[in-house]
Structure 1
Amino acid sequence: MARKVGIYTRISRDDEGEALGVARQRTDCERLADLRTWQPVKIYEDNDVSAFKRNVVRDEFELMLKDLRAGLIDGVVAYDLDRLARQPRDLERLIEIFDERPRLEFATVTNDVNLGTADGRTMARVMVAFANKSSHDTSRRIKRKHLELAQQGKANGGPAPYGWLKDDRNKVDPEAAKHIREAQKEVLAGVRIGTIRTRWQEQGLGNPRQGTKRMAHHHVEHILTNPRLVRYRTYHGEILHGDDGQPVMGEWDPINTVEEWEAVCAAIAERKQTKAGQSLARRYLLSGIARCGLCKSKIRGQVNQQWKPGSQAAQYKYQCSKVNGGCGKVGRVGDPVDKLIARLVLKEQREKAAATGVPVEARWPRERELEGLLQDIVQLIEAEKAKAITVSTLLQLLPAKEQERDALKLERARFYKEQKQAEAKGNAGDLTEEEFFALPIERQREIVLHSLTAVVIHPAGRGKRKFDPDLIDPVWR
């Protein structure tokens, strides 16, 4: 009876995605199995999968090992030993199975290595060790090439990041750039990244990965804070700096100014620190803003249990709850309260904007101080290179300068964050009521909180009554 063998094929990169390389390996392996009078019963194919990277799991390779150990196949045919293993530990796992089952068959197209003998195993270990070194050398050369490209401000290969044209990754995609800027403005106005992610998912924005059902939160956050937006070149996730201490600038077109980008990054970082572990999601406009007119406890929105489909009543109400420490005696249908507050707030902001005029964008007043400090750092480094000062002197002077530089950069980021946030939050005067309610709920709440500190809802008494705006008392800032 013919021995049943599995054929293992693998190729590290398949840029075209046509699997031609593994197909050629399969043909040659089937021909070899036929010459040995073995019967191929299973093809294990790892296409576009590395055998060198430690964090990569080869699913078909793992399945092949399980089938070998379970006795479902009697041997393995591969094109070459380095198709099977480039890490010694993977080879040792295979050898262990051949130790357990001495009659297993093994063959490769390119050489004659027998894992069933001591000499064959020794030869296999030497060959895998050399293959591993070859992969290390290739990896080192690739890393050095990528660093050189980064230092020159050139982009690596791969698909264009969201915001740039697919056929020219150095040119900005106007439509994508518009969506990025709009989302950044929303972040500055208090909108959650989760809200932006949901909308982008529905609209097919952000270049979601193929086959994913839900766009990742960190993917959207990276798009909005990517240093590439201001032409900063990164290497291994960090902004790359040149010998002059300045960020290396890429050869592509920018989408943001440095001030805009720093403001968004600072806003997101601040939100992570101050809101860590807290949910920013809100379903109702005045949840936590409204207060009970009797006990002054915060009132939250909730589903109106008395609402029936087809009725004119709103689906939610603001109810003082004993569960949250309130008296439980005050409740009001939510929709008319929200509309009243929206009208009052928009009117107030419209009048305030007309009285104060358009704010003038200011520059950070310590910009020259930071520029001078950066120049001092460069001069110190150049002086050490020219042997004008010793390394010891440089290392004594440099840390204080770098600490002062980092503090000034943080101050600049905060300055522009507050400025951009004020712009995003304070320009609601021209909105209509319909436009207001079309905004994300976080943006609506920011507009309300820009004018109000609270909304007091007074009791209406027993029985059904028409909505009385006099019982809704806004507390203005």
Structure 2
Amino acid sequence: MARKVAVYTRISRDDEGDGLGVTRQRQDCERLADLRGWSVAKVYEDNDVSAYKRNVRRPEYELMLSDLAAGLIDGVVSYDLDRLARQPKDLERLIEIFDNRKRLTFATVTNDIDLSSADGRTMARVMVAFANKSSHDTARRLKRKHLELAMSGKSSGGPAPYGWQKDDPNKVDLEAARHIRAAQNEILAGVRIGTIRTRWHEQGIGRPREGTKRTAHHHVEFMLTNPRLCGYRTYHGEILLSDDGEPVIGEWETINTVEEWEAVCSAVAERKRANPSPAAGKPLARKYLLSGIARCGLCHNKIRGQISRLWKPGSKVSKYNYQCSVVNGGCGKVGRVGEPMEDLIIDLVLEEQRKRAAEDGSPALMEWLGEAEFKSVSDDIKALTTAANNREITMSSVLQILPDLERRRDELKLERARFQRKLKRAESVSEGIKNREEFRDLPIERQQEIILHSLSAVVVHPAGRGRRIFNPDLIEPIWRE
């Protein structure tokens, strides 16, 4: 009876995605098995999978070892030993199976090694050690090459990030850039990334990865805060600095200025600090416009929106209302139907903002007052670094001065980012919204930001006993000065 053997094929990179490399290996292995009179029971194929990287799992290799240990196959045929293993630990696992199961068959197309003998195992270990060293040397050379490319501001290859043309990653994709800028403005106006992600998914924006239903939250966040947007070159996820301590600038077209990019990053970071990741099933997004803004006129506790118990599909009863809740520490005595109260506040706010815009006219261009100091501190850091590189000053002297300068520079960068964010928010609020319908089309976070730009709170006074008809006089807006 012919021995049942496995054919194992592997290739580290299949750039074309056509699997021709592993196909050629399989054909040669099957030809060898046929010459030896063995029957190929199964082909195990790991295409486009590295055997050198420690954090990469080869599913077909693991399955082959399991089947070999279980006695489902009687041996292995591979094109070469380095197709099977480039890490000594992977070879030792295979040798251990050969120890436990005698008379197993092992062969390669390039040369035969007897894993059942001490000499054969020694030779196999030496060959894997040399293959591992070869992979290590290649990885080291590639790492040095990528660092050199990065320092010169060049791209290291790979697909173009969203925002740049697929066929030329140095040129901006104007349509994608427009979506990115619009989303960044929304972030500065208080809109959540999750809201942007949902809309992008509905509109097919953002180049979702093949095989995924929608772009992941952290991918959308990275698209909107990628240092590449303002020209900064990164290396292993960090902004790369030149010898003089300045960020390395890439050779591609930019979508943001440095100040715009910093403002967006600051807005995202501050939101994360204010709202840490919620537990599963408990989203941070508010469903109701005046939740947390409306307050009870009796106990002054915050009032939140909730679905009306009396509402049913098709009924004339309001779908939701605002109720002072005992559970949240309130008196539970004040409530109001949702839609009429929201419509009243929206109309009042839009009218107030239209009047303010007419009185103020075009807002004067605001400038950040710390720009001169920031430039001076940055120039001092650059001068110190250059002097140290030229051995004009000792490193000991540099380290006594540099930390304080760097700390002040980082403080000023944060102040600049906050200023830009505040400026963008003011600009977004001043954008004319013609009517209530346009207001309702905005994301809920954006609506709340507009409301809070004019109001600090909305006080809901009790309506008293008897038939309750919505009375706008019992809704008191508290205007900001």
Per the normalisation by structure 2, the TM-score is 0.95
Q: How does 1:257-272 map to 2 (within 5 A)?
A: 257-272=257-272
Residue 368 of structure 2 aligns with which residue?
A: 364
How far does the alpha carbon of each residue in 1:273-317 deviate from its partner, in whole angstroms, 9 at most, with x for none? Answer: 222245531001011111222332221111112112222333211
Asked if structure 2 preserves the Cα contact closer than 8 Å seen for 1:428 and 1:447, the reply is no
How far 1:162 sits from its partner (Å)? 0.4
- Paired residue type of 1:307: W
How far 1:382 sits from its partner (Å)? 2.8
Q: Which of 305, 311, 320 is the matching residue for 2:309?
A: 305
Q: 1:387 to 1:300 in 2, by over 3 A?
A: closer
The reply on whether 1:468 has 2:460 as its aligned counterpart is no
The reply on whether 1:435 has 2:438 as its aligned counterpart is yes
The reply on whether 1:458 has 2:461 as its aligned counterpart is yes
- Paired residue type of 1:215: T
Asked if structure 1 preserves the Cα contact closer than 8 Å seen for 2:245 and 2:385, the reply is no
Residue 291 of structure 2 aligns with which residue?
A: 287
Q: In structure 2, what is the Cα distance between the partners aligned to 1:402 and 1:330?
A: 54
Q: How does 1:371-390 map to 2 (within 5 A)?
A: 371-390=375-394
Q: 1:293 to 1:374 in 2, by over 3 A?
A: closer
How far 1:331 sits from its partner (Å)? 2.3
Q: How does 1:3-82 map to 2 (within 5 A)?
A: 3-82=3-82
The answer for unaligned runs of 5 or more in structure 1 is none
Asked if structure 1 preserves the Cα contact closer than 8 Å seen for 2:246 and 2:382, the reply is no
Q: In structure 2, what is the Cα distance between the partners aligned to 1:75 and 1:432?
A: 76
Q: 1:373 to 1:299 in 2, by over 3 A?
A: closer
Q: How does 1:44-193 map to 2 (within 5 A)?
A: 44-193=44-193
Asked if structure 1 preserves the Cα contact closer than 8 Å seen for 2:303 and 2:325, the reply is yes
- Paired residue type of 2:470: F
Q: 1:22 to 1:189 in 2, by over 3 A?
A: same
How far does the alpha carbon of each residue in 1:194-228 deviate from its partner, in whole angstroms, 9 at most, with x for none? Answer: 11111111212111111112321111111111111
Greater shift, 285-294 or 53-62, is seen at 285-294
Q: In structure 1, what is the Cα distance between the partners aligned to 2:267 and 2:119?
A: 64
Q: In structure 2, what is the Cα distance between the partners aligned to 1:457 and 1:393?
A: 64
Greater shift, 123-132 or 279-288, is seen at 279-288
Q: 1:463 to 1:81 in 2, by over 3 A?
A: farther
Q: In structure 2, what is the Cα distance between the partners aligned to 1:467 and 1:73?
A: 80
Q: 1:280 to 1:358 in 2, by over 3 A?
A: farther
Asked if structure 1 preserves the Cα contact closer than 8 Å seen for 2:381 and 2:402, the reply is yes
- Paired residue type of 1:179: H
Residue 447 of structure 2 aligns with which residue?
A: 444
RMSD: 1.6
How far does the alpha carbon of each residue in 1:325-346 deviate from its partner, in whole angstroms, 9 at most, with x for none? Answer: 2222322221111111100111
Asked if structure 1 preserves the Cα contact closer than 8 Å seen for 2:13 and 2:49, the reply is yes
Q: 1:201 to 1:356 in 2, by over 3 A?
A: same
Q: 1:380 to 1:298 in 2, by over 3 A?
A: closer
Asked if structure 2 preserves the Cα contact closer than 8 Å seen for 1:194 and 1:217, the reply is yes
Residue 413 of structure 2 aligns with which residue?
A: 409
Asked if structure 1 preserves the Cα contact closer than 8 Å seen for 2:207 and 2:215, the reply is no
Asked if structure 2 preserves the Cα contact closer than 8 Å seen for 1:263 and 1:413, the reply is yes
- Paired residue type of 1:43: V
How far 1:320 sits from its partner (Å)? 1.9
How far does the alpha carbon of each residue in 1:143-162 deviate from its partner, in whole angstroms, 9 at most, with x for none? Answer: 11111111111112111100
Q: 1:312 to 1:368 in 2, by over 3 A?
A: same
Partner of 2:76: helix, strand, or coil? strand
Q: In structure 1, what is the Cα distance between the partners aligned to 2:258 and 2:34?
A: 65
How far 1:100 sits from its partner (Å)? 0.8
How far 1:462 sits from its partner (Å)? 4.3
Q: In structure 1, what is the Cα distance between the partners aligned to 2:288 and 2:388?
A: 61
Q: In structure 2, what is the Cα distance between the partners aligned to 1:467 and 1:374?
A: 60
Q: In structure 1, what is the Cα distance between the partners aligned to 2:370 and 2:341?
A: 46
How far 1:464 sits from its partner (Å)? 4.4
Greater shift, 10-19 or 360-369, is seen at 360-369
- Paired residue type of 2:433: D
- Paired residue type of 1:304: S
Residue 325 of structure 2 aligns with which residue?
A: 321
How far 1:38 sits from its partner (Å)? 1.0
- Paired residue type of 2:89: R
Q: In structure 2, what is the Cα distance between the partners aligned to 1:307 and 1:397?
A: 68
Q: Percent identity?
A: 70
Residue 239 of structure 2 aligns with which residue?
A: 239
Q: In structure 2, what is the Cα distance between the partners aligned to 1:431 and 1:244?
A: 51
- Paired residue type of 1:466: I
Between the two proteins, the alignment pairs up a number of residues equal to 476
Q: 1:433 to 1:382 in 2, by over 3 A?
A: same
How far 1:431 sits from its partner (Å)? 3.6
Q: In structure 2, what is the Cα distance between the partners aligned to 1:352 and 1:397?
A: 49
Per the normalisation by structure 1, the TM-score is 0.96
How far 1:365 sits from its partner (Å)? 2.3
Q: 1:327 to 1:84 in 2, by over 3 A?
A: same
Q: 1:449 to 1:128 in 2, by over 3 A?
A: same
How far 1:53 sits from its partner (Å)? 0.8
Q: In structure 2, what is the Cα distance between the partners aligned to 1:237 and 1:313?
A: 54
Residue 400 of structure 2 aligns with which residue?
A: 396
Q: 1:361 to 1:156 in 2, by over 3 A?
A: farther
Q: In structure 2, what is the Cα distance between the partners aligned to 1:355 and 1:335?
A: 30
Asked if structure 2 preserves the Cα contact closer than 8 Å seen for 1:350 and 1:428, the reply is no
Q: In structure 2, what is the Cα distance between the partners aligned to 1:76 and 1:360?
A: 77
Asked if structure 2 preserves the Cα contact closer than 8 Å seen for 1:99 and 1:116, the reply is yes
Q: How does 1:198-217 map to 2 (within 5 A)?
A: 198-217=198-217
Q: In structure 2, what is the Cα distance between the partners aligned to 1:380 and 1:324?
A: 57
Q: 1:394 to 1:331 in 2, by over 3 A?
A: closer
Q: In structure 2, what is the Cα distance between the partners aligned to 1:130 and 1:360?
A: 69
Residue 339 of structure 2 aligns with which residue?
A: 335
How far 1:470 sits from its partner (Å)? 1.5
The answer for unaligned runs of 5 or more in structure 2 is none
Q: In structure 1, what is the Cα distance between the partners aligned to 2:60 and 2:46?
A: 6
Asked if structure 2 preserves the Cα contact closer than 8 Å seen for 1:240 and 1:248, the reply is yes
Q: In structure 2, what is the Cα distance between the partners aligned to 1:208 and 1:137?
A: 35
Q: In structure 2, what is the Cα distance between the partners aligned to 1:368 and 1:380?
A: 18
Q: In structure 2, what is the Cα distance between the partners aligned to 1:174 and 1:345?
A: 35
Q: In structure 1, what is the Cα distance between the partners aligned to 2:432 and 2:154?
A: 44
